[in-house]
Amino acid sequence: MELSQTLAQEIVERAMRILPGNVNVMDASGLIIGSGDPARLFSHHAGARQVIAEGRAVALDAVAATRLAGAQAGINLPLYRAGELVGVLGVSGEDPEQLRLPAELLRLTAEMLIEQAAGQPPVTSGMTAPLLRQLLAPGAVPELGRHANLLGLRPELPRDVLLLEFTAPAPGFGDWAQQRVTHSWCLPREERQWLWYRPGAEAPEAPLEELPGQGWSLQRSAWIPEPRSWTGLAETTQRALALLAVARRLRPDLVRVALDDLALPTWLQEQVEHSHGTWLLEPLQRLRRADRDGQLLATLRSWFTEDASPQACAAALGLHRNGLRHRLERIQALTGRDPRRFAEAAELYCALLLLDRDWAISQS
């Protein structure tokens, strides 16, 4: 396929809605056929020829640009269709490395337009994955949303987050998920994990029931039913990951987990991961260091499992109530928190959720 001047100029005009600098599109011979600077049209671009010869992006600083005819400082990237190099996209600017990300995003838009001009639907899953990863990263810049709009990704739509972990790799899941829910986004995270961002935030039971029929076996899912636009999805993605980690250790019996199932321990997990909740662990860390045989930690677990009932807890531990009282007093002395007082017991309970990775909370 050969790039037409009309298509090249359309790519330039779309690109220059986003970038303040000049944009050029060169054909497969290095001839500029689209440009924000009309004076540069139909001249040869030596930097583009280097891209064509090497099949890779070429960044030029001001010094390097002076050595190449028709070139300016900036970055030049190859444009492909179906594996064939059909042209070059050039973005001018004094700092080529700062231009690399926006230029890569513009390349995705250009290749989408090239596919459409050839009468083929763009392979959106492959083309948009790099952009989605940037959109979903903490601190993503507003320009990314404009790029996503150019690609038809509808970033303004509120989406929930459904994290799925399969028993084995699930090839093809992303394509199926995006067809199953219109305008949804889907990204692989690890070998057996997928992140699915769905507009509408309907309960996931129906699509999850369909997975076995597609040949996929679900090990565990974590659902955050808090629809957010793209600027909030980095936060909810982290919450989904925290929920999955908490479910693994506290409720390994649950296959389908929603945030409401484990809201408190998930929130605590997030606080500790961001170093805001380390103070909460200190009393139990002192207790664990002094509790060499684990007797006091076991007593505390039983105390909360039996809803702080002295009679039920003593019976569960095989103790006389005086023996239980003695242990609770030792816990108080070591932690500075009395498990018989509600506010102090709440601190110990939350700390135990974080500290003890072998204790599965009974939800019955």
* In contact, 350 and 357? CB cutoff 8 Å: no
**Predicted pLDDT at 220:** 96
Lowest mean pLDDT among 19-23, 229-233, 294-298: 19-23
CB atoms under 10 Å from CB of 89, counted, come to 28
Q: How confident is the model at residue 102 (pLDDT cuts 50, 70, 90)?
A: confident
How confident is the model at residue 180, as a pLDDT? 93
Residue-range domain boundaries for the chain? 5-122, 154-273, 278-355
Give CA–CA dist 262/106, Å, rounded. Answer: 41
> Hey, what CATH class is 154-273 in?
alpha beta
pLDDT for residue 122: 45
Residue 127: the pLDDT is: 45
Evaluate if residue 152 carries a pLDDT over 90: no
pLDDT band at 151 (very low <50, low <70, confident <90, very high): low
Between 22 and 135, name the one with better pLDDT: 22
d(CA 142, CA 119): 31
Residue 162: strand pairing partners: 196, 223
pLDDT, tens digit, for every residue of 25-73? Answer: 999 988 999 999 988 888 888 889 999 999 999 999 888 888 887 778 8
List pLDDT tens digits, range 208-226. 999 999 999 999 999 999 9
Residue 276 has pLDDT above 60, yes or no: no
Tokens (6 digits) for 312: 């039920």
Q: Is the pLDDT of residue 171 over 80?
A: yes
> Residue type for 222, please?
A
User: Distance between CA 216 and CA 219 in Å, rounded?
Assistant: 10
Specify whether domain 278-355 bears CATH 1.10.10.2840: yes
Query: What average pLDDT does range 145-163 have in this prediction?
Result: 84
Calculate mean pLDDT across residues 123-129: 51
- The CATH homologous superfamily for domain 5-122 is GAF domain (3.30.450.40)
Which pLDDT band holds residue 300 (cuts at 50, 70, 90)? very high
